[in-house]
Structure 1
Amino acid sequence: MQGEDTLDLHLPDGFLAWAEGEAPEFTRTTSGDRQGTAPHWLSPSEDTPSRPAFDDLLDGIAGWGPVRTPAGTFHLVPARLERDLRLISRWMNDAAAAAFWELSGPPSVTEDHIRAQLAADGRSVPCVGVLDGRPMSYWEVYRADLDPLARFYPARPHDTGLHLLLGEVPDRGRGLGGLLLRAVADLVLARRPSCARVIAEPDIRNTPSIAAFLTAGFRFAAEVDLPGKTGALMVRERSLLHVL
């Protein structure tokens, strides 16, 4: 139940037209499509669309593949400490991120946080979000129904939770948070047929984050008293997928 920080309020050009009817495409691109190739910072053996499903409880995030969004081709790639730690740690030491994630300090602080997930049973998968080949965000996709969070709200089987940090300051304040949250929530529901709801619990004080979730089609369900914070329970339901 870590904090998440989207830090954006404004919509990018073209977003309203997309929101009115042009959903992200969930068709995998081919090797001949430039936008469908592996992010440039991955080795050929790490080309996520061709790898076996990651051993997790989330229907194999490593095999979900890239999706097209109005901002470009987006790819959730399971984090690897040897490749990603320095970058993620730098993001966590940004003042705005540190206020809610509370992972500032030496890289070992972030390493301990990520390693705990990698060493667990697969109920939470830390990921790097890659937009048009550029790593630009940190995500945690987790089984909310198997998380301690489930003690604080009426959880349903296979509820899937999201945490998001936009890592680079230039990516904030221009609508990317809401746009990517919508795309990833749609991706979760497309790749996890057993999941009926996507859940989030941003800090109630983090109004930019809450605004981004609302932009992404989540609804505010309740305030929840969690260890260390009061959370805003945000819910996106499969039954309302084509309405919100």
Structure 2
Amino acid sequence: MERFYSDVFGLVVTDRGVGAVFRNDVGFMTGSADQHHQLVLASGRQPDAPSTVMQISFKVSDLADLRDLRDKALAAGASDAIGLNHGNAWSVYFNDPEGNRIEIYLGFSEQAKETFDRYPFGGLCEYMVAPANGCVKLPDNVTCQQATRLGYTGTGYSALRKGGAGPDVVTLINGATGTLGLPTVLCALALGTTKILAVARNKALLEELRQLAPGRIFTHSTDDGPVRPWAIDQTEGDGVDLAVDCVGPGGTAARRHRCST
């Protein structure tokens, strides 16, 4: 293991010995001349025992170093490498040859705005693995930026399909004017749903939504009172056949409760 951390991270051994408290062989390594050790390796772990290390993190100065260290680590026996964008840092995670989890990361600095300007569409990965049945080819008249909206559309579409949305299935959509709710309403229209009860708070947005299909979309603002009596009235006492809650994490539990009671 000393060879791995020396070859990949440039650490050097500063000391070796036997622990005074636990009698195992230990090796001290550092990458800084003014620090005796930054990493300590110890013997005693059984060959079939899992790692108890949650994570060891190494910071790099730029993206080129991040990629270079990733390549060095894999060439030296690391495995299971993945990349993540945390928003405040880019990280690559992998297991060292003994199965300990390692992170190398580039923390964003005052110049982060420049980096985001260079990579404005998110995702920052060069390649990603995805199942073939989860991929579609974009038609020429759909841009990548437009396609990013299809993730929310697919979420709403899946809920409607699972709920059997269609003609004669009265569908209530809570949070209907939001990022998820709006495409769900559009999908319900496309599936032939003849009566959509759209619930949200903002009355102006609800009216814009209603204008898309005045004879099929019926709106209610939660500021005007409980949803249940309104929905019962809209269905002549029968109630709705399907309800889809599109309120995100910012929605309050009280408002969700008002939608179902």
TM-score when scaled to structure 2?
0.23
Greater RCO, 1 or 2 (C-alpha within 8 Å, sep 6+): 1
TM-score (norm 1): 0.24
Give the greater-gyration-radius structure (CA). Answer: 2
